[in-house]
Chain A
Amino acid sequence: MEKLLTVSPSPHTKCGRTTQGIMLDVIIALVPALIASIIYFGLRALLVSVVAVVSCVLFEFLSRKVMKRENTISDLSAVVTGLLLAFNLPSTLPIWMVVLGSLVAIVVVKQLFGGIGQNFVNPAIAARIVLMSSFAAKMTNWVVPNTISTDAQTTATPLKLLAEGKTDELPSLFQLFIGERAGCLGETCAIAIIIGAIYLFVRRVITPLIPLCFIGTVAVFTFIAGDFDVNFMLYHLLSGGLLLGAVFMATDYTTSPMTTWGKVIFAIGCGLITSLIRLFGSLPEGVSFSILFMNILVPHIEKLTKPKSFGEGGAKNG
């Protein structure tokens, strides 16, 4: 044999899953929510989504080019960031602000820290918070869903109504479930997000651990704080960005702990901060901030919850 064979250390076989495949699964899981947003907020929702995705991919491409690094747009992570950013914006937001959000998410939060896997906070959430603090009015300019016939052009989100005690103006729980309410693009339709979540569980992209602990904590907290009123609790669970955040944002691999108990602590922390902000803070919504805070704690949580290696506790007789 003249040609030498390939020699490499074991293992010589790898599973078929790739980063690109995982991101594609996340994109597929986001499609139901995207369709819902177009139904409720019209083509403007589609426009915001397309602009966010295209600008995220473009910024990713350009920053890799400028930094003279291998281009990574084919891993599709920028598409996911773009979609999630769009889902966290109101459909009325001026297009240039959407582009600015993409710039913050991709260039500042992701690429300046080294690209995929290196950002210490969730890019889409960081971008949403930057936009929120810069353009508070534009970021809370909510329109009435297309499916409701009314003369009003703008409205308030259910959480805002809850906070102000205007319970008679609240949409019904069923409306919340199908997404017929004011809010950011992708956060309104609970059923669409749940379908996406089930897809991600089945495809084993994420485990239900973080979403369940996050939502569960908010449920317990609001149930107790609302004097054991189930309705009050359900309104909190189905309003705001809780479902979207718990399923798609808090489960972001890079910015959540790798350890099992770390995931539990992280998710409970998210739930607690969300509830505290919603019930006692001056803002009506706290999902983004809670995830951002917990993102920053991830290295410490991971250190605290490092699993004990097999046999580290000495011999055990079964």
Chain B
Amino acid sequence: MGIFNSRGVKPAHRKHTDNQKAVRLENVASVTIPMRQHIGAPCTPTVKVGDVVAVGQVIGDTEAFMSAPIHASVSGTVSKIAEIRLANGEKVSAVTIKSDGEMRLYEGVEKPQYNSVEEFLKCVRSSGLVGLGGAGFPTHVKLKVPQGKVDTLVINAAECEPYITTDNRECIDNTADVIDGVELVCKVLDIKSAVIGVEDNKPQAINALRTEISNRKSNIVVKALKSKYPQGAEKVLIHSATGRVVPMGGLPMDAGCIVMNVASVAFLARYMRTGKPLVTRTVTVDGSAIANPNNFRVPIGAFMQDVVNAAGGFVKEPKKIILGGPMMGNSVSSLDYVITKTNNALLAFDEKDAKPKKETACIRCGRCVSVCPMKLMPASLEKYQRCGDAEGLENGAVLNCIECGCCSFTCPAGRQLVQSIRLGKTIVRTAQAERKKKEEAKG
């Protein structure tokens, strides 16, 4: 019943930095690089205090499959290895490098060579690449798919979060890299077709990509998607770009797709050309408290303070600072956090923007139900969560929630819907674990 429902929401775009090509930020005094910036096992530091390192040198690695190595993002001396807290609340060990200001490239950096898919994936792993859209899924794990299971590569350039413009700039400024990357992945993994999904509020990006594609006579499709949050959510994107539905609890692979962020494929193309691993990333710095909103190419591990300074500091007292977008980013308590591989934005809100909406009683208006892209009933799930009803939550498919936050965004009563649903997921997982234990005990 599409005409009566409007899945997703339309927050104000606020893409103020649409036309700002990323500015390189290099003169940082030091960086603190966390040993885990991805989904999976943390790395162990491979350097010790006092070591001299160069840009692109491995400083952390692990034997675990589900992981990605960490590289030095500045040249200089390792001054400290200690535990720090990340924006998402995790504690992880981190290597601090005092920069010598030279940004000297590590001599071991060379163009990667591969003759098979396995070797290619090994190269991808060495690049340190993880999903740059924000999820941080190690790319070499994502690309390791059984032969013949995937026929479509979906590139995520939707960029549906307000403020953020890094993917838009990637399409405009590094168009050739994007297309190179797509062609490379398709060729190596023997994938037949590729679709790049871009929201239609980025006509410049769409044009740039289409021109490049037609110049090359490539058969990559650029699909202009309706500008609607969460258009860039993996399952939503696959559905809008290919019409396919990923089964509940399944992976994109189950719908014959691999989804990669546009900045990730573009990086991959550059890496295969130069061998320079993932040591920088583009960050949109914006929000009502920021003096000069802009895009910056930031060394990984740079302190938020340095990034804010580069954007001219604060014009107003910030009340809330977010790493990531306003819909799904993490707010942090101070500027003592660092930029990781997955941070696509740093937003600083003044008092007005940071003011929370007053929470009042649910009036059962059903807006959360009609906007939920996963077709859940957030208002009911919230009630089940409040009374700890694991069965109700499970029947309501709570684990299918992608935590996009449309329900909370749209709620006129200011209810903390997605927040309750996150807690509800824990209730269900605990109940499932207990059930499993019981079954195992029974034998």
Check: B25 CB closer than 8 A to any chain A CB: no
User: Looking at chain B's contact residues, is the secondary structure mostly helix, strand, loop, or mixed?
Assistant: loop
Residue of A with least CB distance to B287:
A12
Bound together, the chains give a CA A9 to CA B379 distance in angstroms of 18
Mark each residue of chain A from 271 to 307: 1 if its CB lies under 8 Å from any CB of chain B, else 0: 0000000000000000000000000000000000011
In the complex with contacts A11-B408, A253-B366, A19-B360 CB distance below 8 A: yes
Mark each residue of chain B from 311 to 337: 1 if its CB lies under 8 Å from any CB of chain A, else 0: 000000011111010111111111100
In the complex with contacts A19-B360, A254-B364, A312-B400, A9-B419 CB distance below 8 A: yes
Bound together, the chains give a CA A13 to CA B164 distance in angstroms of 14
- Of B235, B354, B418, B419, the contact of A6 (CB 8 Å cutoff): B354
Q: In the bound complex, do residue B320 and residue A19 qualify as a contact, i.e. CB atoms below 8 Å apart?
A: no
Mark each residue of chain B from 236 to 257: 1 if its CB lies under 8 Å from any CB of chain A, else 0: 0001001111111110001110
Bound together, the chains give a CA A8 to CA B357 distance in angstroms of 12
Mark each residue of chain A from 191 to 216: 1 if its CB lies under 8 Å from any CB of chain B, else 0: 00000000000000001010000000
Q: In the bound complex, do residue B419 and residue A75 qualify as a contact, i.e. CB atoms below 8 Å apart?
A: no
In the complex with contacts A7-B332, A11-B327, A14-B411, A315-B365 CB distance below 8 A: no
Q: In the bound complex, do residue A9 and residue B422 qualify as a contact, i.e. CB atoms below 8 Å apart?
A: yes
- Of B239, B334, B357, the contact of A1 (CB 8 Å cutoff): B334
Bound together, the chains give a CA A309 to CA B374 distance in angstroms of 6
Mark each residue of chain A from 246 to 264: 1 if its CB lies under 8 Å from any CB of chain B, else 0: 0000000110011111000
**Number of chain A interface residues as a range:** 35 or more
**Number of chain B interface residues as a range:** 35 or more
In the complex with contacts A1-B334, A8-B356, A315-B247, A310-B362 CB distance below 8 A: no
Task: Give every chain B residue within 8 A of A116 (Cβ-Cβ).
Answer: 360-361, 363
Check: A68 CB closer than 8 A to any chain B CB: no
Binding-face segment, B3-11, B111-119, B137-145, B270-278: B3-11
Check: A165 CB closer than 8 A to any chain B CB: no
B37 shortest CB reach to chain A, Å: 19
Check: B184 CB closer than 8 A to any chain A CB: no
- Of A5, A9, A307, A310, the contact of B319 (CB 8 Å cutoff): A5
Bound together, the chains give a CA A118 to CA B383 distance in angstroms of 12
Mark each residue of chain A from 105 to 137: 1 if its CB lies under 8 Å from any CB of chain B, else 0: 000000000111110000000000000000000
Task: Give every chain B residue within 8 A of A253 (Cβ-Cβ).
Answer: 363-366
Task: Give every chain A residue within 8 A of B321 (Cβ-Cβ).
Answer: 5
Task: Give every chain B residue within 8 A of A310 (Cβ-Cβ).
Answer: 235, 239, 245, 248, 373-375, 400
Check: B414 CB closer than 8 A to any chain A CB: yes
Bound together, the chains give a CA A12 to CA B321 distance in angstroms of 10
Task: Give every chain B residue within 8 A of A1 (Cβ-Cβ).
Answer: 334-335
Mark each residue of chain B from 387 to 408: 1 if its CB lies under 8 Å from any CB of chain A, else 0: 0000000001100100101001
Check: B410 CB closer than 8 A to any chain A CB: yes
**A-B residue pair count with CB separations less than 8 angstroms:** 184
Q: In the bound complex, do residue B375 and residue A307 qualify as a contact, i.e. CB atoms below 8 Å apart?
A: yes
Q: In the bound complex, do residue A11 and residue B250 qualify as a contact, i.e. CB atoms below 8 Å apart?
A: no
Bound together, the chains give a CA A14 to CA B229 distance in angstroms of 13
Check: B377 CB closer than 8 A to any chain A CB: yes
Residue of B with least CB distance to A262:
B366
In the complex with contacts A5-B332, A260-B5, A315-B254, A14-B369 CB distance below 8 A: no
Bound together, the chains give a CA A261 to CA B377 distance in angstroms of 13
In the complex with contacts A259-B369, A317-B244, A311-B361 CB distance below 8 A: no
Q: In the bound complex, do residue A260 and residue B370 qualify as a contact, i.e. CB atoms below 8 Å apart?
A: yes
Residue of B with least CB distance to A77:
B363
Residue of A with least CB distance to B330:
A10
In the complex with contacts A10-B330, A253-B364, A308-B375, A22-B412 CB distance below 8 A: yes
B257 shortest CB reach to chain A, Å: 10
Residue of B with least CB distance to A312:
B248
Q: In the bound complex, do residue B255 and residue A317 qualify as a contact, i.e. CB atoms below 8 Å apart?
A: yes
Q: In the bound complex, do residue B329 and residue A12 qualify as a contact, i.e. CB atoms below 8 Å apart?
A: yes
A156 shortest CB reach to chain B, Å: 38
B414 shortest CB reach to chain A, Å: 7
Task: Give every chain A residue within 8 A of B362 (Cβ-Cβ).
Answer: 117
Most chain B C-beta atoms within 10 Å of own C-beta, residue among A5, A117, A259: A5
Docked complex: A57-115 residues within 8 A CB-CB of B: 72, 75, 77, 114-115
A13 shortest CB reach to chain B, Å: 4
Q: In the bound complex, do residue A309 and residue B376 qualify as a contact, i.e. CB atoms below 8 Å apart?
A: yes
Most chain A C-beta atoms within 10 Å of own C-beta, residue among B246, B373, B379, B396: B246
Bound together, the chains give a CA A9 to CA B328 distance in angstroms of 8
Bound together, the chains give a CA A258 to CA B353 distance in angstroms of 30
Check: B267 CB closer than 8 A to any chain A CB: no
Check: B441 CB closer than 8 A to any chain A CB: no
Q: In the bound complex, do residue A6 and residue B361 qualify as a contact, i.e. CB atoms below 8 Å apart?
A: no
Task: Give every chain A residue within 8 A of B45 (Cβ-Cβ).
Answer: none
Q: In the bound complex, do residue A15 and residue B331 qualify as a contact, i.e. CB atoms below 8 Å apart?
A: no
> What would be 30 A-B contacts, judged by CB atoms less than 8 Å apart?
A5-B319, A5-B334, A6-B331, A6-B354, A9-B331, A10-B328, A12-B322, A12-B349, A13-B11, A13-B162, A14-B409, A15-B410, A15-B412, A18-B413, A19-B360, A258-B377, A260-B1, A307-B376, A309-B397, A310-B373, A310-B375, A311-B235, A311-B247, A311-B248, A311-B400, A312-B397, A313-B245, A315-B254, A316-B245, A318-B239
> Which A residues lie at the B interface, using CB under 8 A?
1, 4-15, 17-19, 21-22, 72, 75, 77, 114-118, 207, 209, 253-254, 257-261, 306-318
Q: A6-B331, A260-B370 are in contact. List 9 more A-B contacts (CB 8 A).
A: A1-B334, A11-B408, A15-B9, A18-B413, A18-B414, A253-B366, A309-B376, A314-B245, A318-B243
